[in-house]
Structure 1
Amino acid sequence: MKTLAKVAVVAGCAALAWTAGSGVSQAATAQANTSATVVLPVTISKATDLNFGRFMSGASGGTVVVSTGNAQSVTGGVTTTGVLGSTAAAAEFTIAGEAASTYAVTFPAQTNLVNGGNSMTIGSFTTAITSGGSLGTFAGGDETLAVGATLTVGANQASGTYSGTIDVAVNYN
């Protein structure tokens, strides 16, 4: 009986200690201010297509480069035709975004112009802002993004009109 009494006393003390401890707690709270900023979405629309102009392919092939300033230059066995109406032109896009925000312009590594089973590769894209702010930072409002590139022409490239597309992406940094 003494053992049973001891167990009952110990159990009662444990219950009393648990009850006393459960009513005593130390809660701490704090608040944080919250905010959100909505910015203008980046927009881009094509104004002018990229045109490498007219040229002739030689026995060794070469390149045709169109600068962001609409200048055509050739290398290797490629020669210009000098024909009126064959003016090369950089692609132009109208872009806009949140003023003072930075952005990046990205292109595919390369893309092709095709004419039937014949193709040429476009790569080495160049960019410039021809109105508005500076390349890489929106000034606010519409800006003109000029895009030039290099066209690789094969030796004795088949004559004809080649066509394709380039994908230009503008994203906030």
Structure 2
Amino acid sequence: MFAASPAHAAEQDGGAEVEILEQIALTQVSGLDFGTIIPSAAGGNINIRRNTGLCIANGGVTLVGTDCQRGEFLITGPSRQRVRITLASAPITLSQQSGTAIMVMDRVRINGNRNKRLNAAGQRTFYVSGRLQVGANQAPGVYDGTFDVTVDYR
């Protein structure tokens, strides 16, 4: 009669692998500063150019001194790593430190493309700029605010 033939089983070990990258670090080197201004009866704005850092006053606003500057950030991580920078969306409110007045930053940008590559030393600098709307007869004082900057692996 017919006999059952034994089952022929096969076995093979599978492999698994993982690469662990060092964490990306983000450091603010210098803050975004719209400088010292004098408002007038007409509103205006201060615009900081993202690629050059040039500060331009428009409308009824006058820049005084040279303290207007882009914000500078430093990314550190693995050599040649690709990263993506994400900024908070405008509008961003700046509030008077000793009062209730506000101003609005209606534009926030980085220099160049938001996708960057770290250099061989694992570093990359980028700059943040923006445009600040200054109201007519804006109340005197110091104004400040915050915005989020995120850097992720790409």
TM-score over 0.5 for the pair: yes
5+ residue gaps, structure 1: 1-19
Q: Please say if residues 39 and 138 of structure 2, whose CA atoms lie closer than 8 Å, have aligned partners that are also in contact.
A: yes
Per the TM alignment, residue 25 of structure 1 is displaced from its structure 2 partner at its CA by 4.7
In structure 1, how many angstroms separate the alpha carbons of the residues matched to 2:74 and 2:111?
A: 12
Q: Which has the higher contact order (CA 8 A, sep 6+)?
A: 2
- 1:33 matched to 2:15? The reply is yes
Unpaired segments of 5 or more residues in structure 2? none
Aligned to 1:46: 28
Equivalent pairs, count: 147
Deviations 1:129-164 (A, max 9, x none): 8xxxx9611113333222111111122211111112
- Give the letter for the 2:57 counterpart: V
Other-structure match for 2:146? 165
Q: Which has the higher helix share?
A: 1
Q: Which structure 2 residues correspond to residues 144-159 of structure 1 after superposition, within 5 A?
A: 144-159=125-140
Counterpart selection for 2:72 from 89, 92, 96: 92
Structure 1 residues 30 and 63 mapped into 2: Cα distance closer, same or farther (>3 Å)? farther
Structure 1's 63 and 25: CA in aligned 2 closer, same or farther, altered over 3 A? farther
Q: Distance in 2 between matches of 1:34 and 1:135?
A: 30
From the CA coordinates, give the structure whose radius of gyration is larger: 1
SS at 2:111's partner residue?
strand
Q: How does 1:1-173 map to 2 (within 5 A)?
A: 25=7, 27-68=9-50, 69-81=52-64, 84=65, 86-110=66-90, 111-115=92-96, 116-128=99-111, 136-141=116-121, 142-173=123-154
More strand by share: 2
Judge conservation of contact 2:87–2:109 (CA < 8 Å) in 1.
Answer: no
SS of match in other structure, 1:113: strand
Paired with 1:143 and 1:44, the residues of 2 have a C-alpha distance of 10
Any idea what the Cα deviations from partners look like across 1:20-69, whole Å, max 9, x if unmatched?
Answer: 98x96564544443221111211011111111011222333121112344
Aligned-residue RMSD, C-alpha: 2.7
Q: What one-letter code is carried by the residue in structure 2 that aligns with 1:62?
A: G
Whether the aligned pair in 2 keeps the contact of 1:97 and 1:140 (CA below 8 Å) is no
Sequence identity of aligned pairs in percent?
A: 26
Tell me by how many angstroms 1:170 deviates: 1.0
SS in 1 for 2:130: strand
- The answer to whether the Cα contact below 8 Å between 2:21 and 2:78 also exists between their aligned partners in 1 is yes
CA contact under 8 A between 2:88 and 2:148: conserved in structure 1? yes
CA distance in 2, matches of 1:158, 1:53: 15
